[in-house]
Structure 1
Amino acid sequence: MKNFNLYLVLIILFFGSCKDKKVEFEKPISIIDKVSEQYEYLYENAIPFVDTDKPMPRTIVNGKLHTVGVYDWTSGFHPGSMWNLYGLTKNEEWKNRATYYTKLLDTIQYWEGTHDLGFMIGDSYGNALKYVNNEDYKKVMVQAAKSLSSRFKPKAGIIQSWETNDRWKCPVIIDNMMNLEMLFEATKISGDSTFYDIAVTHADTTMAKHFRKDYSSYHVLDYDTETGEVLKRNTAQGYQDESAWARGQAWGLYGFIVMYRETKKPKYLNQAKKIAGFIMNHPNLPEDRVPYWDYNAPITAQTPRDASAAAITASALYELSTYVEGDLKLAFKDEATTIVETLSKEPYLAEVGTNEGYLLKHSTGHLPNDSEINVPINYADYYFLEALMRQREMVK
């Protein structure tokens, strides 16, 4: 009884002290607020580089912000991320900043020396067109599509990726599936079906020749441009030629989802579902759903993860879930949500004011080349923001 009376006294004292006072509870900071505040920090860190020949933030090297020029294959991701932030926040500052950085890429539209124009122009100017009806932007997209089309090898049915070298005559990488979306957009803008036809031809050849029976993908195929014969099946960034490089699997998944969206051909949807199945059911996929850098790499405590592969996969699966029904729809959506939830907290999401302003930690760029291992990378942030946008649209 004595203890009960003491308990009553403590309750009376507590509520008495709160009388005439408003009890305030700290409102949790939303993930949108966090990413916006963090990218504000990145934006400020990048300002000193704006007027240099390397204005685009890419990663961290030796603990410091590392920037690259506009001809780097990742140059479109920084403006693209700011367009995504504008989409998430409707803050005009992000729109203004995205516009400025997008225009830095103007000359890239004429560059025929790369297959990465979809990343560089599609993710900058292409995203801009989602929010701004600008005729000049449309012209850039069409010109970039023309430049990319110059790399098409009709007899082989593919768009050449890298230049010929001592190892390969006509190398084509699975990443190239990500550049086809820009060709579809160019057809919509211009009415020229040539771009559409090239995208379909490249995708069909890739589907027939780039994938194994388990729907994992090789990284690099070497083609004879006259006969279309595959001369070699290799890797450049994976563990082994026969292994499944994690980001490559995500590129393939995303690319064939785009193919279905733009053509509505069931074969592309089926391909995407099969690739998703390979990723989601792989025995080496960790419980938190962030893959190791290669699905077949030896796993130790030091084996690096690839948050960028996870972010790409999450964004892709959200879209894929909109094209299927029933249990499959729930499975793809739940997998994407699990990945986003994992990436939205430690150890992957950086604390605001750290990580030089990048959102995600623990991505792997090119491990065999000892490059960008266990670091933030701009494309990981880009696809994470895109996944957040798609998640919000699904909630709506």
Structure 2
Amino acid sequence: MGDWLKDAISATVDKVSAQARRGGDFPHITEHGKWVFTSDGVWTGGFWVGLLWLGYELRKTDELREAATRLTERLLPRAADKVNHDLGFMFYPSAVKGWRITGNKRYLHAAVEAAHSLASQFNPAGGFIPGWGFFGSEDWSGSVLIDTLMNLPLLVWATNNGADAQLLDVVHRHARTALANHQRPDGSVYHVFRFDPANGNPISGDTYQGLAAASAWSRGQGWALAGFSMLADMTGSPDYLAAAQRVAGYVRNHLPEDGVPPWDYAAERGAVKDSSAGAITAYGLIRLWELTGDAEHLVLATRMLEALYRTCMGDSDIAPVLVHATADLPHGLGIDESTIYGDYYFLKALVALQEVESRQYGTTLSRVEQA
């Protein structure tokens, strides 16, 4: 097992532990290298709680468990959100993970409620969950974000834990809509696809955080790769598996030599990076390797994670884990900064890679978690 991997996990948990000791609200993105916090977690609070639970699993310290418990409790009322397509992001890393660790049934029930709240937003005419919730007053009722794929595993999990089995129909209909409209022939995906919300007719591909409608926003490629891979694992669908492999092929063909994605794969040479896209993509590649056994996926994931560790790991005297992330360049948010989702998927991917390497060296560890 590479020393860099052990060092990366240790350094990441050190940072998570230090932030837990500081207390406070939910870290979101940084400005000038300092965390901006939110009181309700907006759409990213689950990632910070997920980091705390992951850190607790690795270190078993009281401070990490207490912080994870306190902030999970603060998120539970959000399970009733009715205009929020990110409930999977909020509740899988926090309530589901917390329930698995503690057995607390309140976490289980809140996560199931969140799944029903997410499914209640489904537009049956178009076969999609709109990508609304945190974009101001603009009408997003006909806009579908590729990000939503990553929220669907909450629905699959919920059907195995007491939720209405019809939630699986929502999963498959939304995923099929994404397959038919978001993914392009070269394997890349639109960030946004717009539909007529009244009749569900497709209109056109678009973007919100990418360079252009026809470009390949790098974090969106990561969301698609990881989302389709997880859904393929959880449902057994060969169509989702094939879609994930197509995205992986696109990433492999367009990733720069340094192994860290630019904020958009169509951006000019030397454009700002998005380390969060690298972390999410690497996690998706590991999940894809678990399903296919194709060594190319694991080699590329390892290359990307080591590149993030060597070129984007924050110094020990700053709070965030990864620097050189770009949250939303077109709207001037978090450019060459840090994001809590980047930090979460970095640790998630590192732990997944460690489990893979441990199995290869003969140590018995659990298979990579479903989500």
Q: Contact 1:38 / 1:353 at 8 angstroms: preserved in 2?
A: no
- Report the 3-state secondary structure (helix = DSSP H, G, I; strand = E; otherwise coil) of the residue aligned with 1:66: strand
TM-aligned CA deviation for residue 368 of structure 1: 0.4
Query: Structure 1 residue 387 and structure 2 residue 349: aligned?
Result: yes
Q: Which amino acid aligns with 1:316?
A: G
TM-aligned CA deviation for residue 165 of structure 1: 6.0
Q: Contact 2:16 / 2:51 at 8 angstroms: preserved in 1?
A: no
Q: Which residue of 2 aligns with 1:159?
A: 129
Q: In the TM superposition, what whole-angstrom CA distance separates every residue of 1:282-322 from its partner, at most 9, and x where no partner exists?
A: 2xx2112111000001223xx11000000001111111111
> Of 255, 259, 266, which aligns to 1:296?
266
Q: Contact 1:60 / 1:376 at 8 angstroms: preserved in 2?
A: yes
Query: Structure 1 residue 66 and structure 2 residue 43: aligned?
Result: no
Query: Structure 1 residue 337 and structure 2 residue 307: aligned?
Result: no
Q: Which has the larger radius of gyration?
A: 1
**C-alpha separation in 1, matches of 2:137 and 2:145:** 14
- Report the 3-state secondary structure (helix = DSSP H, G, I; strand = E; otherwise coil) of the residue aligned with 1:131: helix
Superposed, 1:259-298 pairs within 5 Å as 259-282=231-254, 285-298=255-268
> Of 28, 31, 38, which aligns to 2:8?
31
Query: Structure 1 residue 318 and structure 2 residue 283: aligned?
Result: no
Q: Which amino acid aligns with 1:88?
A: L
Q: Contact 2:76 / 2:107 at 8 angstroms: preserved in 1?
A: no
- Report the 3-state secondary structure (helix = DSSP H, G, I; strand = E; otherwise coil) of the residue aligned with 2:85: coil
| TM-score w.r.t. length of structure 1 | 0.85
Q: Contact 2:155 / 2:171 at 8 angstroms: preserved in 1?
A: yes
Q: Which amino acid aligns with 2:350?
A: L
Q: Which residue of 2 aligns with 1:361?
A: 323
TM-aligned CA deviation for residue 188 of structure 1: 0.8
TM-aligned CA deviation for residue 76 of structure 1: 1.1
Q: Which residue of 2 aligns with 1:18?
A: none
Q: Which residue of 2 aligns with 1:245?
A: 217
**C-alpha separation in 2, matches of 1:191 and 1:59:** 33
> Of 29, 42, 45, which aligns to 1:75?
45
Q: In the TM superposition, what whole-angstrom CA distance separates every residue of 1:213-241 from its partner, at most 9, and x where no partner exists?
A: 11111111111234321123211100011
Q: Which residue of 2 aligns with 1:306?
A: 274
> Of 378, 388, 392, which aligns to 2:340?
378
**C-alpha separation in 1, matches of 2:160 and 2:104:** 14
TM-aligned CA deviation for residue 63 of structure 1: 4.3
- Report the 3-state secondary structure (helix = DSSP H, G, I; strand = E; otherwise coil) of the residue aligned with 2:248: helix
Q: In the TM superposition, what whole-angstrom CA distance separates every residue of 1:343-383 from its partner, at most 9, and x where no partner exists?
A: 222x31112122xx111000000000011000011111000
**C-alpha separation in 2, matches of 1:96 and 1:213:** 48
Q: Which amino acid aligns with 1:38?
A: K
**C-alpha separation in 2, matches of 1:67 and 1:76:** 13
**C-alpha separation in 1, matches of 2:138 and 2:156:** 33
> Of 293, 296, 312, which aligns to 1:348?
312
**C-alpha separation in 2, matches of 1:169 and 1:42:** 37
Superposed, 1:120-159 pairs within 5 Å as 120-159=90-129
**C-alpha separation in 2, matches of 1:62 and 1:103:** 30
Q: Which amino acid aligns with 1:290?
A: V
Gaps of 5+ in 2: 359-371
Range with greater deviation from structure 2 (159-168 or 262-271): 159-168
- Report the 3-state secondary structure (helix = DSSP H, G, I; strand = E; otherwise coil) of the residue aligned with 1:57: strand
TM-aligned CA deviation for residue 191 of structure 1: 5.0
Q: Which amino acid aligns with 2:286?
A: Y
Q: Contact 1:169 / 1:222 at 8 angstroms: preserved in 2?
A: no
Query: Structure 1 residue 206 and structure 2 residue 178: aligned?
Result: yes
**C-alpha separation in 2, matches of 1:111 and 1:166:** 18
Q: Contact 1:58 / 1:67 at 8 angstroms: preserved in 2?
A: yes
**C-alpha separation in 2, matches of 1:219 and 1:31:** 30
TM-aligned CA deviation for residue 267 of structure 1: 1.2
Number of aligned pairs? 352
Shift in alpha-carbon separation, 1:208–1:259, aligned structure 2, 3 A: same
Query: Structure 1 residue 171 and structure 2 residue 143: aligned?
Result: yes
Q: Which amino acid aligns with 1:136?
A: R
**C-alpha separation in 1, matches of 2:21 and 2:262:** 32
Identity percentage over the alignment? 35
**C-alpha separation in 2, matches of 1:77 and 1:280:** 27
Q: In the TM superposition, what whole-angstrom CA distance separates every residue of 1:28-80 from its partner, at most 9, and x where no partner exists?
A: 983332122222222234x2xx3xxxx11122224433111215111111111
| TM-score w.r.t. length of structure 2 | 0.90
- Report the 3-state secondary structure (helix = DSSP H, G, I; strand = E; otherwise coil) of the residue aligned with 1:371: coil
Range with greater deviation from structure 2 (203-212 or 225-234): 225-234
TM-aligned CA deviation for residue 277 of structure 1: 0.5
TM-aligned CA deviation for residue 384 of structure 1: 0.4
Q: Which amino acid aligns with 2:43?
A: W
Q: Contact 1:180 / 1:199 at 8 angstroms: preserved in 2?
A: yes
**C-alpha separation in 1, matches of 2:188 and 2:178:** 12
Shift in alpha-carbon separation, 1:395–1:166, aligned structure 2, 3 A: closer
Q: Contact 2:191 / 2:217 at 8 angstroms: preserved in 1?
A: yes
Q: Contact 1:71 / 1:108 at 8 angstroms: preserved in 2?
A: no
Shift in alpha-carbon separation, 1:229–1:43, aligned structure 2, 3 A: same
Q: Which amino acid aligns with 1:154?
A: P
- Report the 3-state secondary structure (helix = DSSP H, G, I; strand = E; otherwise coil) of the residue aligned with 2:312: coil
Alignment root-mean-square deviation, CA? 1.8
